[in-house]
Amino acid sequence: MAGIYENGQGADGANSGTPQLGRIFEHGYPGGPANGFGSEYPNPFLKQHIVYANRDVPNIRELAVYRQHGGYEVAQRVLTTMQPQAVVDEVKKSGLRGRGGAGFPTGVKWGFIPKDIFPKYLVCNADESEPGTFNNHEIIDLNPHQLIEGMIISGFAFGATAGYIYIRGEYAYGARVLEQAIAEAYAAKLLGKQLWGTTVDFDLYVHRGAGAYICGEETALLESLEGKIGQPRAKPPFPAVAGLYAKPTVINNVETLTNVPRIMQHGADWYRSFGTEKSPGTKAISISGHVKRPGNYEVPLGITVRQFIYDVAGGIRDGHELKFIVPGGASSPWLINKPEHLDVLLTWDDMAAAGSMLGSGAMIVLDETTCVVAASMKIDEFFKHESCGKCTPCREGTHFLTKVWERIEHGHGRMSDIPLLDDLGKQMSGGKCFCLLGPSAVAPVTSALKFFSDEIRQHIELGRCPLGYNHPPVAAHAVEGGVHTGATSVLAR
């Protein structure tokens, strides 16, 4: 992601009125007084920001500024004039789908919470650890009160009296912004007991994780939040019935919750004027890699992949050609440079029909200079590192996959590695792993084999990168063996 922090004003630079946060980013956000990644560029498809509302207002993260722009008025109106069920109904009617990856309808999820078990919890998933994903970050760092307002309204809707924002520990800056925003909200009696003179209580806490991708998976997150090792739980029971401390719990993504104040402000019909029938609203998408204008852009759901890459992010860097796209975070199957893929609509259903996924809204675009073997190896190294080790197919499989890629990458590949990769991928798919992290590691394998098998073959035949890159040679013994028992025999067959 070189580029996004490169120049421009620091988040705690001259335009900030919150010096106590200190200067965290060395290089700051681009965009000058406009606060967000990519916000300085024209966005031809969006008539109005929803998630990144007020992104161009300096210091919107401060309570006073947020309130000058109508902040917390929606929460006050909702809590003092509406019944909780009416909020659930409005969110259901809006068609809001969870932005954390699966696109599950938010109002329906809230509706699963049993009415007669107390207390109930709302957990905001701010782990955002998928490579290429940084769209939640912008909300947290620059407009935390819209998220907090969304959590107050959402908690009210299904009866939660406490909320937790689980944020990856490395995001120290974001955690501090949130802590400060929450302190401001408490001081103004926007959090705590009897909000706006009602009987509604809502407390909010920030919890810093220790930095594990698996803790973005909702049940591993709950384990971690309870102070245990971050490994997924068996489902059922689902968190709606037995979640945090075995109590009914809703887990929603940052962007999902940030939509809620705008839906309750303008109504479900207004919200549905954005996007498509089955994927209403907008999506904040992070785009990185070889595009001219990497950054975060909010676009209506339903524009095409081509429109997003070329009209929003400025197209491929000068003189180069698109090679492939990792469209929804590292775990998503790739799209390539062909009209059928470029014309796919950015919706959950259209992306799935094209064999990929919208995922976390993180598009990594690679041009013709990218070595498919090196890229696949890097992605699988990530999954190997992040595998929690609970189940064998993922713990061993991510290790084996990485070893095979490394062997090919460093010039010691053999033709039998191609069916071996395919076989390993099959051993990790089709419900054999305990959670979705394992199959995620297979996405680069199936994509590379499907679209670039000739390039992989060439890499093996030549014993080097066919694109002419001088990847450092590594001795065969360094990539043959493995720390796990059996690795050598599997790789050597």
Ligand X SMILES: Cc1cc2nc3c(=O)[nH]c(=O)nc-3n(C[C@H](O)[C@H](O)[C@H](O)COP(=O)(O)O)c2cc1C
Give the footprint of ligand X on this chain (CB under 6 A). Answer: 98-102, 104, 109, 125, 127-129, 213-214, 216-218, 251-253, 256, 435-437
Listed residue (303, 296, 382, 372) closest to 334, CA to CA: 372
Bond preceding residue 237 cis, omega within 30 of 0: yes
Listed residue (397, 392, 442, 389) closest to 232, CA to CA: 389
Residue 99's binding partner out of ligand SF4, ligand X, none, with CB under 5 to 8 Å set by partner kind: ligand X
Least separation in angstroms between residue 96's CB and ligand X is 9
430-469 residues in contact with ligand SF4 (CB under 6 A) are 433-435, 437-438
Residue 389's binding partner out of ligand X, ligand SF4, none, with CB under 5 to 8 Å set by partner kind: ligand SF4
Minimum CB distance to ligand SF4 smaller for 12 or for 380: 380
Residue 239's binding partner out of ligand SF4, ligand X, none, with CB under 5 to 8 Å set by partner kind: none
206-235 residues in contact with ligand SF4 (CB under 6 A) are 214, 232
DSSP state of 228: S
Minimum CB distance to ligand SF4 smaller for 30 or for 216: 216
Minimum CB distance to ligand SF4 smaller for 83 or for 392: 392
Q: Is the dihedral of CA 94, 149, 179, 155 positive or negative?
A: negative
By CB atoms closer than 10 A (0-12, 13-18, 19+), residue 395 is middle
Count H helices and E strands in the chain, helices first: 20, 9
Q: Is there binding between residue 395 and ligand SF4 (CB under 6 A)? A: yes
Residue 303's binding partner out of ligand SF4, ligand X, none, with CB under 5 to 8 Å set by partner kind: none
Residue 364 forms beta bridges with which residues? 288, 326
Q: Which of 224, 265, 387, 427 is close enough to bind ligand SF4 by CB under 6 A? A: 387
Least separation in angstroms between residue 53's CB and ligand X is 18
Residue 280's binding partner out of ligand X, ligand SF4, none, with CB under 5 to 8 Å set by partner kind: none
338-357 residues in contact with ligand SF4 (CB under 6 A) are none
Distance (Å, whole) CA 476 – CA 65: 60
Least separation in angstroms between residue 128's CB and ligand SF4 is 17
Least separation in angstroms between residue 226's CB and ligand SF4 is 17
Minimum CB distance to ligand X smaller for 218 or for 223: 218
**Angle, vertex CA 242, rays to CA 239 and CA 245, nearest 5:** 105
Helix 443-462 with 372-386: angle, nearest 10 deg: 130
Residue 390's binding partner out of ligand SF4, ligand X, none, with CB under 5 to 8 Å set by partner kind: ligand SF4
Residue 395's binding partner out of ligand X, ligand SF4, none, with CB under 5 to 8 Å set by partner kind: ligand SF4
Minimum CB distance to ligand X smaller for 442 or for 465: 442
Least separation in angstroms between residue 446's CB and ligand X is 18
383 contact partners, CB below 8 Å, separation of at least 6: 330, 331, 398, 401, 437, 440, 441
Question: Concatenated DSSP letters for 280-323?
Answer: BSEEEEEEEESBSS-EEEEEETT-BHHIIIIIIS-SBSTT--EE
Half-sphere exposure of residue 161, counting CA atoms within 13 Å on the CB side? 10
Residue 391's binding partner out of ligand X, ligand SF4, none, with CB under 5 to 8 Å set by partner kind: ligand SF4
Least separation in angstroms between residue 368's CB and ligand X is 30
Q: Is the dihedral of CA 81, 84, 85, 90 positive or negative?
A: positive
Residue 128's binding partner out of ligand SF4, ligand X, none, with CB under 5 to 8 Å set by partner kind: ligand X
Residues in the chain, how many?
Answer: 493
Least separation in angstroms between residue 391's CB and ligand SF4 is 3
Minimum CB distance to ligand X smaller for 12 or for 223: 223
Distance (Å, whole) CA 153 – CA 114: 18
Distance (Å, whole) CA 201 – CA 191: 8
Task: Give whole-number Cα distances, 107 to 89, 104, 164, 253, in Å.
Answer: 7, 9, 19, 13
Residue 387's binding partner out of ligand SF4, ligand X, none, with CB under 5 to 8 Å set by partner kind: ligand SF4
Least separation in angstroms between residue 129's CB and ligand X is 5
Tokens of 336: 């390539």
Least separation in angstroms between residue 384's CB and ligand SF4 is 10
Minimum CB distance to ligand X smaller for 271 or for 452: 271
Residue least distant from ligand SF4 (Cβ): 394
Distance (Å, whole) CA 295 – CA 258: 19
Element (H, E) at 395: helix 392-409
- The site for ligand SF4 (CB under 6 A) is made up of 214, 232, 387-391, 394-395, 433-435, 437-438
